[in-house]
């Protein structure tokens, strides 16, 4: 699974682990992704992988529950 937000395109960044002795080794900063059911503008309900920032900002609309 690619660690990319399907809405904003956020993906892993690279940086360094820095020890107390200032030794540096490479590391990855992964985005916080979740799989969620979202309602697309066309009305279709689809499972998408999005970052939590897109969820919190309201960029993703969750489908409403149908009453019987």
pTM to 2 decimal places:
0.81
- What's the pLDDT at 67? 72
Token pair 């499972």: residue: 47
**Nearest by Cα to 8 from 38, 46, 49, 37:** 49
CA angle 55, 46, 2 (to 5 degrees): 70
Helix (H, G, I), strand (E, B) or coil at 57: helix
62 Cβ contact partners less than 8 Å away, ≥ 6 residues apart: 36, 37, 38, 39
Where is 39: in which H helix or E strand? strand 33-39
Question: In this predicted model, what pLDDT tens digit does every residue of 12-67 receive, in sequence order?
Answer: 999 999 999 999 999 999 999 999 999 998 989 999 999 999 999 999 999 988 77
Q: Which CATH architecture has domain 13-57?
A: Roll (2.30)
> Residue 68: is its pLDDT beyond 80?
no
């Amino acid at each position: 699974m690619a660690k990319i937000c399907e809405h904003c395109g956020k993906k892993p960044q690279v940086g360094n682990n820095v020890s107390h002795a200032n030794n540096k080794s490479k590391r990855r900063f992964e985005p916080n992704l979740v799989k969620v059911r979202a309602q697309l503008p066309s009305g279709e309900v689809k499972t998408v992988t999005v970052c939590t920032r897109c969820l919190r900002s309201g960029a993703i609309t969750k489908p409403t529950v149908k009453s019987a």
